[in-house]
Amino acid sequence: MERKNRDKRVSLLGVYDYTVWLTYFGLFISIVGIMEGLHGRKTMAIFCLAFSGLCDAFDGRIARKKKDRTEDEKAFGIQIDSLCDIVCFGVFPSVICFTLGVNGAAGMLVIAWYCICGVIRLAQFNVTAQGRLGRTEEKPCYRGLPITSAAVVLPVMYLVGTWIPAGIFVPLLHLILAAMGLLFVIDLPFPKLKGKGLAFFAGIVAAVLFLLLAGEEWGC
């Protein structure tokens, strides 16, 4: 009887250990940011985007610290990371850009282009990463611009937008978003951030976060 009761216990699908906590937290922050953006709190939305990018920069490194992950856990990590990236750095930036003026017919086309290219980029990454499971060597670069670059580009653009007229900023934002979509799918090498490069990236994001918080505090 006791064995039958054990067999009837409900289990959860997926992985919930520390290797994916930061990925889930980044997704949570992005969802909060989407809500902030929809309520017109653009600075907080941008802050959430930058913070989510910071989470993404380190979640893979944390996951690789666990040496006894099964092949299924590794495969799950690849899939869940890309699925979260679609929301965090595909849908979320699109919502922000829409609130910043990338709307109308041209804006919808640009946002659709950005999202479609982002999905293609992540699908290709998953195919490549899945094929490399079990190998110890790591590729020195990405093929195509990582979609997570939105976590740096858009916050920087938002800060720049405080210094230039809206008549220039909005068309420029259209162009930047369209160019990013193109770079997602063009087969060009982009270096992976490691060591000093990762520290530099984290420093840029931290500086952007500080400026955003300072601007919010000063009412900018």
State pLDDT tens for residues 64-109.
888 888 888 888 998 999 999 999 999 999 999 999 999 999 999 9
| 173, pLDDT greater than 60 | yes
pTM of the model: 0.85
For residues 194 and 61, give the distance between their C-alpha atoms in angstroms, rounded to a whole number: 10
Kindly indicate the confidence band of residue 202, based on its pLDDT and cuts at 50, 70 and 90.
low
Q: How many CB atoms lie within 10 A of CB 97?
A: 25
Give residues with Cβ within 8 angstroms of 107, minimum separation 6. Answer: 97, 98, 101, 174
From CA 187, how far away is CA 56, in angstroms rounded?
22
What local confidence, expressed as pLDDT, does residue 217 receive?
A: 47
User: What backbone phi and psi angles, to 5 degrees, belong to 88?
Assistant: -70, -40
What sign does the dihedral 24-30-33-34 (CA atoms) show?
negative
Q: Does residue 195 carry a pLDDT above 60?
A: no
Mean pLDDT of the chain: 85
Domain range 17-218, its CATH number among 1.20.120, 3.40.1130, 2.60.120, 1.10.3470: 1.20.120
Two tokens, residue 86: 């679609």
* Separation of alpha carbons 167 and 160, rounded Å: 13
Closest CA to 196 of 188, 208, 204: 204
Q: Mean pLDDT lowest for which of 1-15, 29-43, 136-150? A: 1-15
The label of the residue with tokens 């054990």 reads 6
Q: What is the pLDDT of residue 206?
A: 72
DSSP letter assigned to residue 192: P
Mean pLDDT of 133-150: 77
Long-range CB contacts for residues 138-142, cutoff 8 Å, separation at least 24: 138/192, 139/192, 140/191, 140/192, 141/189, 141/190, 141/191, 141/192, 142/189, 142/190, 142/191, 142/192
Q: Taking 60 as the threshold, does the pLDDT of residue 170 lie above it?
A: yes
* Low-confidence winner among 129-138, 165-174, 177-186 (lowest mean pLDDT): 129-138
Whether the per-residue pLDDT at 3 is higher than 60: the answer is: no
pLDDT at residue 122 is higher than 50: yes
Q: What percent of the chain has pLDDT over 70?
A: 82
Q: Residues near 87 by Cβ (< 8 Å), separated by ≥ 6?
A: 27, 30, 31
What amino acid occupies position 58?
F
Task: Write out the H or E segment, with its range, that includes residue 142.
Answer: strand 141-143
**Per-domain boundaries in the chain:** 17-218
pLDDT of residue 154: 93
pLDDT, mean of residues 204-211:
71
pLDDT band (50, 70, 90) for residue 218: very low
